[in-house]
Amino acid sequence: MAQQQKSREERCVDFVKDVIDLCSTDSAAKAAFRRAFSPALEYQCWAALIRLGVAIDKPRERQAFTAIGAMVADAGLDKDGSVPMMKALADAYRGNPGPAEMRVRRLLNCTSTEELCRLLRPIHRLLLSKSQNSVNYARLLRDLLLFGLNAEQIKIQWAVEFFGNREEHKK
């Protein structure tokens, strides 16, 4: 009998953990993932993605895993964070939510995983410099993978996390 496939959640958690481990032992892989932020250089991390079990022939999947791999390598983590990205963004802009709100509205207007991955890069960099929270990259990966299947649900979830979090801070 074939080995039972991992759940999407387990796969996302394992991928983030594996990228953290790979980047801590293989500086070339870490550099390749960091360069993958650029669409022109994305191909440089394909070997690492294949080693980690990613089907690079599926564009939506490849884009999601590449984006998260690049973010994890760029963040230099020793373990995954625990805060959803939209909550971390709301927390980072607690006193002045205007700039963050514009970014979130742009994300909520995305129509493809490719566009979403492209827009997440500057948000990731901003959070590295501005937020004290560590983003849960496994959950973000799960959201990116589900975006192509149920974009509306992911957008609603993100809106609730960002705007709902702001309402909590007003009380």
Let me know: does 120 contact 71? Beta carbons within 8 Å: yes
Would you state the structure tokens that stand for residue 36, as one six-digit string? 């993958």
Find, among 158, 12, 13, 14, the residue nearest to 87 by Cα. Answer: 158
Question: What domains lie within the chain, and their CATH numbers?
Answer: 8-170 (1.10.520.40)
Closest CA to 102 of 83, 80, 81, 126: 126
Question: pLDDT value at position 79?
Answer: 95
For residues 46-70, give the mean pLDDT: 96
Chain segment 101-140, per-residue pLDDT in tens: 999 999 999 999 999 999 999 999 999 998 888 999 999 9
Residues in the chain: 171
CA-wise closest residue to 119 among 144, 94, 96: 144
Whether 155 shows a pLDDT value over 80: the answer reads yes
Instruction: Indicate whether 5 pLDDT > 70.
Output: no
Per-residue pLDDT, 2: 37
Q: Is the pLDDT of residue 12 over 70?
A: yes
- The share of the chain scoring above pLDDT 70, in percent, equals 93
Tell me how far apart the alpha carbons of residues 134 and 78 are, in angstroms, rounded to a whole number: 11
The answer to whether 121 and 37 have CB atoms below 8 angstroms apart is yes
Dump pLDDT digits (tens) for 18-50.
999 999 999 999 999 999 999 899 999 999 999
Beta-carbon contacts of residue 33 (< 8 Å; ≥ 6 apart): 19, 23, 45, 48, 66, 69, 70, 72, 73, 74
